[in-house]
Amino acid sequence: MIETVMSSIIAFFILGGAFFGFVAAIGIIRLPDMYTRLHAASKSSTLGVMMMMTGTFLYFWYVEGYVDTELILAVVFIFITAPVAAHLLGRSGFHADVEPYQLTILNELKRDETGAPDGSRGERVIIEGKRRPDLEEREPEK
């Protein structure tokens, strides 16, 4: 009974990791611009790799009786470094003037990095004449 439950849990983690890795690969191929591809690559693949490593850890722990601390450290390392790397890649793409997808409505980062004096809202970037009224009424952040 316990063997079936543990085998099911291990299979869930490994197959779930493979599924998220597959979704990440499709996202990288199908999504339109660098920012959305970066999102697919960082979020889905991070979760997929973490699930696969967790399933592998459970397998070695339950079947082999071997606790592999390197797998635990790898999961923690990926959990910490992948979001930071994705953030840095996104910011470097923004500062290199990589254009977002044509249907992007409002570029919040452009507005926040204009160097406008305190108390003012800074520049609003409106793409294709679309406005967001909910942001027009908002008080400036201090």
Q: What is the CA radius of gyration of the chain?
A: 21
Same domain, 116 and 64: no
If asked whether residues 59 and 110 sit together in one domain, one would say: no
DSSP lists the bridge partners of residue 126 as 106
Read out DSSP for 69-135?
Answer: HHHHHHHHHHHHHHHHHHHHHHHHHHHTTPPPPTT--B-HHHHHTS-PPTTS--PPPBSTT---HHH
How high is the pLDDT of residue 11? 96
Q: Which domain holds residue 80?
A: 2-99
Beta bridge partners of 106: 126
End-to-end CA, the chain? 59
Average pLDDT across each block of 10 residues of the chain; the chain has 142 residues. List them in order: 93 96 93 90 90 94 90 91 92 85 70 52 48 54 54
In a shared domain, residues 73 and 13:
yes
Q: Does 67 share its domain with 18?
A: yes
Q: pLDDT tens across 49-89, in order?
A: 999 999 999 999 998 889 989 989 999 999 999 999 999 99
Give this prediction's pTM.
0.69
Same domain for 49 and 88: yes
Q: Residue 102's pLDDT is what?
A: 79
Same domain, 50 and 82: yes
Task: State the total domains in the chain.
Answer: 2
What pLDDT is attached to residue 117? Answer: 45
